[in-house]
Amino acid sequence: MTPFQPWLARQSDRLWLAARMLISATAAYTLAQAFGLPQGYWAVLTTIIVTQTSVGGSLKAAIDRLIGSICGALVGAAAALLLPSHTPLVVGATLIAALTPLAVLTAFYPNFRIAPVTAIIVLMSTGAATLGPLAYALDRVLEITLGAVVGVVVSTLIAPARAYAQLRGAAAETARLLAQIMTAMAPAIGTGPPTLGALPTQVLAALNRLAAAADEAARERRSRLSAHPDPEPLFRTLRRLQHDMLALNRLFDTQWPDAAQPALATPWSSYAETVATTLRALADALAACQPPPDTTLLRTQLAAFIAAIETMRQEGTTRALSTDLVGRIFGSAFRAEQLQRDLDDLIERTHEVAATR
């Protein structure tokens, strides 16, 4: 094995993306010349924009660009046809009138940002004055359509990168970060409020990447380009786990009473560490498309934590505590049970992923 082979293996997705971009740009240029399109560079530019890291991403980019271009071309052509004169004042007023609806569209749907750009080109380009607004707008739509189709075809045929693989990677990353949160919270009852640092922000960023991958995977699935299960439940389960852990962290944001520490510190620490270990194992299983690990110990330790809280209640230990502390103690039992339900759901999702291998 040469020194470059490990690096090439890690960067293979990026290298294949670069190759797809080069191939699609070359194909778009060749087809634009063959069809005699006057400004074939629009097709080439579109292929570069459309070619994404996954087939679902390419499909989404192509649809967004096509819809935006058609809307912009129609509005720009209509404005140019209605233009009474070409004085700067009239052109400026017409430009504002044409851009207003497209600016509103872009404000609500940022993916269609190409619409006002296309309208400006159709309305103000010298080519529109030469060919006529409708012919010029039609050429732009044809060129962009050609580029979008080439980008999607190349992304589908040349070493296609499926969004579901990216989804699994993002889900594994999120699970590992959640495991770090559980490790940080494990000693909370005995030592005081945990310090999570940047972990909540990192989890949120990972969930955003997971949401984007889920959207692309769902688009592939709707387009019959993938037979993988619905990606939304996996994203939804990990987001619920994030909410469970943040809720538990709020319960631990103050020092628990000395009376609770001997009874609850060890059961909670054992359960939290086992949750962290399970999440890391699930992350590895998701990344490798493998079945989840055995979780018998997890449920046993949760039962021990709940039983310790019940013992405190039966012995009357909680009677001398403030209402806030009692609420935190019993709230932790409720939140731990909710966490376990969502963790069980993640285990089921991991089974689904393994079944698609």
Q: What is the pLDDT along the chain (357 residues), one digit of tens a residue?
A: 455 555 444 566 677 778 888 998 999 999 999 988 888 888 898 898 888 877 777 878 888 888 988 898 888 888 888 876 677 888 788 888 888 989 898 888 888 888 888 888 888 776 666 677 788 888 888 988 999 899 888 877 876 666 778 888 899 999 999 999 999 999 988 888 888 999 999 999 999 999 988 888 887 777 666 667 788 899 999 999 999 999 999 998 888 877 778 888 899 999 999 999 999 999 999 988 888 888 888 889 999 999 998 888 888 877 877 888 888 888 998 999 999 999 999 999 998 888 776
Contact between residue 82 and residue 94 where contact means Cβ atoms under 8 Å apart:
yes
Residue 1 domain-assigned (yes or no): no
Residue 4 domain-assigned (yes or no): no
- Same structural domain for residues 151 and 189? no
Residue 243 domain-assigned (yes or no): yes
Residue 6 domain-assigned (yes or no): no
Comparing CA positions, the residue from 315, 298, 308 lying closest to residue 333 is: 308
pLDDT computed for residue 294 by the predictor: 83
- Same structural domain for residues 194 and 333? yes
Residue 133 domain-assigned (yes or no): yes
- Same structural domain for residues 261 and 243? yes
- Same structural domain for residues 193 and 255? yes
Where among 109, 132, 157 does a domain terminate? 157
pLDDT computed for residue 9 by the predictor: 45
Residue 254 domain-assigned (yes or no): yes
- Same structural domain for residues 184 and 59? no
pLDDT computed for residue 259 by the predictor: 77
Give the CA dihedral 53, 54, 59, 62, nearest 10 degrees.
10
Residue 2 domain-assigned (yes or no): no
- Same structural domain for residues 128 and 185? no
Residue 138 structural domain: 11-157
Widest CA span in the chain: 92
- Same structural domain for residues 234 and 104? no
Q: For residue 306, give the CATH number of its domain.
A: 1.20.58
Cα angle 142, 147, 149 (rounded to 5 degrees) comes to: 95
- Same structural domain for residues 143 and 199? no
Structural domain count, the chain: 2
pLDDT computed for residue 12 by the predictor: 65
Return phi, psi of residue 225, to 5°: -95, -5
- Same structural domain for residues 57 and 196? no
- Same structural domain for residues 196 and 104? no
- Same structural domain for residues 57 and 170? no
Comparing CA positions, the residue from 266, 243, 288, 268 lying closest to residue 329 is: 268
Where among 157, 173, 190 does a domain terminate? 157
Contact between residue 81 and residue 131 where contact means Cβ atoms under 8 Å apart:
no
- Same structural domain for residues 96 and 193? no
* The overall pTM is greater than 0.75: no
Residue 5 domain-assigned (yes or no): no
Cα angle 283, 289, 293 (rounded to 5 degrees) comes to: 55
Both tokens assigned to 121: 């080109």
Where among 101, 135, 157 does a domain terminate? 157
